[in-house]
Structure 1
Amino acid sequence: MLIDELREESVSGVVAYAEFAESFNKNSTESMYCFFEGDDDYDYYRARIHSHAKQKIILDFNCGGKDYLLKAYSLIKDKPVYANATTAYFIDQDFDCYINNPDIYITPCYSIENFYSDVESFKSILKSRFKIPRDSNDMEICLQLYLNTIDKFHDKVLFLNSWLSCYADLRNQGVVNKRLFIEKKTKKLFDDIVHVNVEDVKDFTEFNNFLSLKALFDNNEDVKEEVFLKKVEQYKYVDKSKVFRGKFELRFLISFLKRLNELIGNKAKTICSKAYASTMPFNEPYLTLLSGFAITPPCLIDYLRRIDEPSN
């Protein structure tokens, strides 16, 4: 039984897999079993799954990481008893995902957070939360400011993303397996990203050269400088809003919205034709708060429709 195998695994995420085995009913055709890397993912996927699986009972499972999700997938696929189960698996591309499996949905960008900071998502937030007409000149003013400022932000975090991508390559090659604890070491550094004038961003001196990045990650010797510099050149020409780490992109979006609210909400300071009072509560969790504004890529719709076909 799957549940027995999972209980033998001394890893986190076992509970989620065991829950699937316990809740599975081979005689039921009404349930869709959805597996996610973490708790936050379901905030984004929930409404999108329900809109394309209206006849199903949706059961979600937090696997506690990509590797554990893939382990659950392999165990489930190996068992004939689950052959008729409607299962869906959702993972982020990150820097190191080279999976090509139609059973598994992989984001076309770094992670779901990149869906939130997309230009169309930003425009939807301005229309709904700031009441700025979509086709107005004020919308265009705010959009151009957003694009100009996020370009500056991307320049500031180019080295950081390049270094993390190099490390991800090494991990994917099996050269390293150490955790970097990225959130713990960088989260505070992303406070107050956007300046009060909304046109500039902080300097991020911790990210501005190879040596400072080594120090940030405990003088890590695994990433070589020549490889790092090649990655920097490569990343200068990618679509950074899609390729760069999603949590960083989301933090930029929130910081920008806060500063924009301070600016255009003030009649004396506004760069728009008038002041706009935001109805947006700037409190976490942002993935829940903004999930309705995030874009839904066509590949996700295609995946959900295919998974929910009766033949599956």
Structure 2
Amino acid sequence: MKSVTIENHLESLTESSVIWERYTRDAKANPNRYFVFYEGKDRQYYDCRIQNFTKNYNAYGVGGKSKVLELVDKFTHEKGYKLKNKLFFIDKDYEKRRLDSDVYMTPKYAVESFYVSQTAIERILKIHYGINEDDQEFSIVLDCFNKRYKEFIQHLTNMNLWAICCQLNEVKIDFDLLGLKNNADNIVKIKHEKLELSVKDISFNFLKVCMRKC
């Protein structure tokens, strides 16, 4: 049993049952609004884009991909509820195909993948920090980014291979339970001068231990 902490309390507020209760209350008060359900903290990415089309919506951060899909299932099968004016957003993770036609799934692993590219870093340097391509800092930052990115990919190769093998053999893995996405800093710490593993290695044995703890 989990101890009662602020973190655990905040986590409980993102449970699908809690979000459902909030939705039913809000929908009763404003039935003509759009109701948007995000995985985790992805609201920060999607909200500004949705606002280009409408400001008449309520948004809810749901605690993980599986919980968003639980809500989709509930809306689909619960008597008296429909998917009309509902929007759902999840990460692709290791899925080979779209899970549900009523759910938007990122074309890449996760929303964060859109930020992890040289093009994105260049735009951030120019727009947010006012650093031009001719400035010395521009090339220094890009060089650090590209080196750390390469190291990151090398360290995670085993994990990616394991996940792909599970998919190919139809072994269902709940990455929300493993906590690899939300607690990645427990595995790897990225600093500008180097990347450090917080565990001895990211091997198949390490992943087996994670599975046993679930």
Letter in 2 for 1:14: S
Contact in 1 for aligned 2:187/2:199 (Cα 8 Å): no
Matched residue SS, 1:90: strand
Letter in 2 for 1:19: R
Using the alignment, how far apart are the partners of 2:153 and 2:42 within structure 1?
A: 24
In structure 2, do the counterparts of structure 1 residues 14 and 126 end up closer, same or farther at CA, with 3 Å as the change threshold?
A: same
| Structure 2: gaps spanning 5 or more residues | 1-14
Report what 1:37 is aligned to.
Answer: 39
When the two structures are aligned, how many residues end up with a matched partner? Answer: 198
Using the alignment, how far apart are the partners of 1:75 and 1:59 within structure 2?
A: 18
Using the alignment, how far apart are the partners of 2:36 and 2:176 within structure 1?
A: 29
Given the two structures, how large is their TM-score scaled by the length of structure 1? 0.51
**Correspondent of 1:24 among 24, 27, 35:** 27
Shift of 1:152: 3.0
Matched residue SS, 1:157: helix
Q: Give the alignment of 1:264-283 within 5 angstroms.
A: none
Question: Which has more strand, going by share of residues?
Answer: 2
Q: Give the alignment of 1:197-276 within 5 angstroms.
A: 200-202=194-196, 206-207=200-201, 210=203, 213-215=204-206, 217-218=208-209
Contact in 2 for aligned 1:32/1:88 (Cα 8 Å): yes
Please tell me whether Structure 1 or Structure 2 has the larger radius of gyration of its CA atoms: 1
Shift of 1:80: 7.5
Shift of 1:140: 4.7
Shift of 1:36: 1.6
In structure 2, do the counterparts of structure 1 residues 101 and 26 end up closer, same or farther at CA, with 3 Å as the change threshold?
A: farther
Shift of 1:79: 5.6
Structure number with the bigger relative contact order (C-alpha 8 A, sep ≥ 6) is 1
Please state if 1:96 is matched with 2:95: yes
Shift of 1:43: 1.7
Report what 2:123 is aligned to.
Answer: 124
**Correspondent of 2:188 among 190, 197, 219:** 190
In structure 2, do the counterparts of structure 1 residues 193 and 160 end up closer, same or farther at CA, with 3 Å as the change threshold?
A: farther
Letter in 1 for 2:49: R
In structure 2, do the counterparts of structure 1 residues 215 and 33 end up closer, same or farther at CA, with 3 Å as the change threshold?
A: closer
Letter in 2 for 1:67: S
Using the alignment, how far apart are the partners of 1:184 and 1:83 within structure 2?
A: 30
Report what 2:84 is aligned to.
Answer: 85
| Structure 1: gaps spanning 5 or more residues | 1-11, 222-312
Matched residue SS, 2:36: strand
1:47-70 CA-to-partner distances (Å, cap 9, x unmatched) read 11112224xx22112332222222
In structure 2, do the counterparts of structure 1 residues 194 and 188 end up closer, same or farther at CA, with 3 Å as the change threshold?
A: farther
Letter in 1 for 2:50: I
In structure 2, do the counterparts of structure 1 residues 205 and 83 end up closer, same or farther at CA, with 3 Å as the change threshold?
A: closer
Contact in 2 for aligned 1:26/1:82 (Cα 8 Å): no
Given the two structures, how large is their TM-score scaled by the length of structure 2? 0.71
Using the alignment, how far apart are the partners of 2:132 and 2:98 within structure 1?
A: 41
Report what 2:65 is aligned to.
Answer: 66
Letter in 2 for 1:121: A
Shift of 1:84: 7.6
> Cα RMSD (Å) of the superposition?
3.7
1:151-199 CA-to-partner distances (Å, cap 9, x unmatched) read 23322322233234445666x534899943436875234235442xxxx
Report what 1:300 is aligned to.
Answer: none
Matched residue SS, 1:21: helix
In structure 2, do the counterparts of structure 1 residues 216 and 76 end up closer, same or farther at CA, with 3 Å as the change threshold?
A: closer
Letter in 2 for 1:191: K
